[in-house]
Structure 1
């Protein structure tokens, strides 16, 4: 798909790849923190809070890739489909801007919910072990 669609698609293949890579990197850092906390024997209640921003960032990147939609571009009324043979530019209608901002908010809320669930499960597993 190389065409901007308000509230549906605002990034192309190159932008999606960047989000996918940032998701992998964020999740890897979170896993690294868990490993270090486990090996060092630090207090999980305090130390594992450091994973939350990385888990959230991982989910934001993964969901942006999955939904073909960049949260920042949505908030800034922009799109970039240049990596998929399309164009990049600014969103010009107020209806499209509203649709994009709603989609961006949904991705952030979905990411926050997934972070809470993942962090809760991870915390429970780490403290039980």
Structure 2
């Protein structure tokens, strides 16, 4: 896919890969925190520190999956590099609105994923 589509696709292969790797890295940091807490004398409440990294992980992988960058959506931009498309700004008001709605949906999904994942981590971590 090489064409910008309002509210649907605003990043290409190169940008998707960056977000996927960022998301995986964030999940990795969260896993390292869990491991550190479980294997040490840190209080189990320290598992709540995974939440921002879990959120970052969800945002990253969801942006990759949906081919849509939240920041670009908010800033009325697109970058389809790596997929045969170009880089540019979005000037149409309806397109900007569609992009911002999509960005909010992705952030909401990431927030729900974070609540569920972090809740599970804290609950399971208290068993150890």
TM-score (norm 2): 0.98
* Aligned residue number for residue 100 of structure 1: 99
Aligned pair 1:123/2:102, yes or no?
Answer: no
* Aligned residue number for residue 29 of structure 2: 29
* Aligned residue number for residue 3 of structure 2: 3
Deviation at 1:27? 0.4
Deviation at 1:48? 1.2
Deviation at 1:42? 1.0
* Aligned residue number for residue 68 of structure 1: 67
Aligned-partner Cα distance in 2 for 1:121–1:36: 17
* Aligned residue number for residue 49 of structure 2: 50
Which structure 1 segments of 5+ residues have no match?
Answer: none
Give every structure 1 segment of 4 or more consecutive aligned residues whose post-TM-superposition deviation is greater than 3 Å. Answer: none
Aligned-partner Cα distance in 2 for 1:103–1:59: 15
Aligned-partner Cα distance in 2 for 1:119–1:33: 12
Aligned-partner Cα distance in 2 for 1:110–1:41: 33
* Aligned residue number for residue 81 of structure 1: 80
Aligned-partner Cα distance in 1 for 2:20–2:101: 22
Aligned-partner Cα distance in 2 for 1:115–1:39: 23
Question: Alignment length, in residue pairs?
Answer: 128
* Aligned residue number for residue 12 of structure 1: 12
TM-score (norm 1): 0.97
Which structure 2 segments of 5+ residues have no match?
Answer: none
Deviation at 1:118? 0.5
Aligned-partner Cα distance in 1 for 2:49–2:36: 11
Deviation at 1:50? 1.3
